[in-house]
Amino acid sequence: MPSNSTKILLLTTLVSGVLVAVSSNSWFGAWMGLEVNLMSFIPLMSNTKNMYNTEASLKYFIVQVLASATLLFMVVMKTLAEDLFSLAFMETSYTPMIICTPLMLKSGAAPFHWWFPGVMEGLSWENCGLLMTVQKAAPLMLMSYLIEINVFTSSIILTSTVMGAIGGLNQTSMRKIMTYSSINHTGWMLAALITGDNLWLTYFMIYSTLVLTVLSAIKLSSVSFINQTLLTNKEAMLTKFMMFTSLLSLGGLPPFLGFLPKWIVIQEMIVNKMTPMATIMVITSLITLYYYLKISYSSFMILSEEPKWNLQSHKNKTSKKISAMIMSSISLTGMLMCSIMVGMI
Residue ranges in contact with ligand NAG by CB under 6 A: 164-165, 168, 180-181, 184-185, 188, 251-252, 258, 262, 285, 288-289
Residues 213, 328 contacting (CB under 8 angstroms): yes
**Closer residue to ligand NAG (CB): 129 or 164:** 164
Residue 292 C-beta: closest distance to ligand NAG, Å:
7
Residue 68 C-beta: closest distance to ligand NAG, Å:
28
CA distance linking residue 264 with residue 207, whole number of Å: 13
Residue 248 C-beta: closest distance to ligand NAG, Å:
9
CA distance linking residue 143 with residue 225, whole number of Å: 34
Distances (CA, A) of 168 to 40, 51, 176, 267: 30, 25, 7, 26
Closest CA to 331 of 259, 267, 239: 259
Residue 266 C-beta: closest distance to ligand NAG, Å:
9
User: CB count, 10 Å around CB of 81?
Assistant: 16
Residue 232 C-beta: closest distance to ligand NAG, Å:
24
**Closer residue to ligand NAG (CB): 67 or 110:** 110
Residue 261 C-beta: closest distance to ligand NAG, Å:
6
- Helical axes 125-132 vs 174-194, angle rounded to 10°: 10
Residue 253 C-beta: closest distance to ligand NAG, Å:
8
**Closer residue to ligand NAG (CB): 232 or 249:** 249
CA distance linking residue 2 with residue 44, whole number of Å: 7
**Closer residue to ligand NAG (CB): 16 or 202:** 202
Phi, psi of 225 (to 5 degrees): -130, 155
**Closer residue to ligand NAG (CB): 144 or 179:** 179
CA distance linking residue 253 with residue 217, whole number of Å: 18
**Closer residue to ligand NAG (CB): 184 or 213:** 184
Residue 251 C-beta: closest distance to ligand NAG, Å:
4
Q: Which residues pair with 173 in a beta bridge?
A: 225
CA distance linking residue 253 with residue 286, whole number of Å: 10
**Closer residue to ligand NAG (CB): 165 or 236:** 165
- Which amino acid, 40? S
**Closer residue to ligand NAG (CB): 31 or 207:** 207
Residue 152 C-beta: closest distance to ligand NAG, Å:
21
**Closer residue to ligand NAG (CB): 74 or 191:** 191
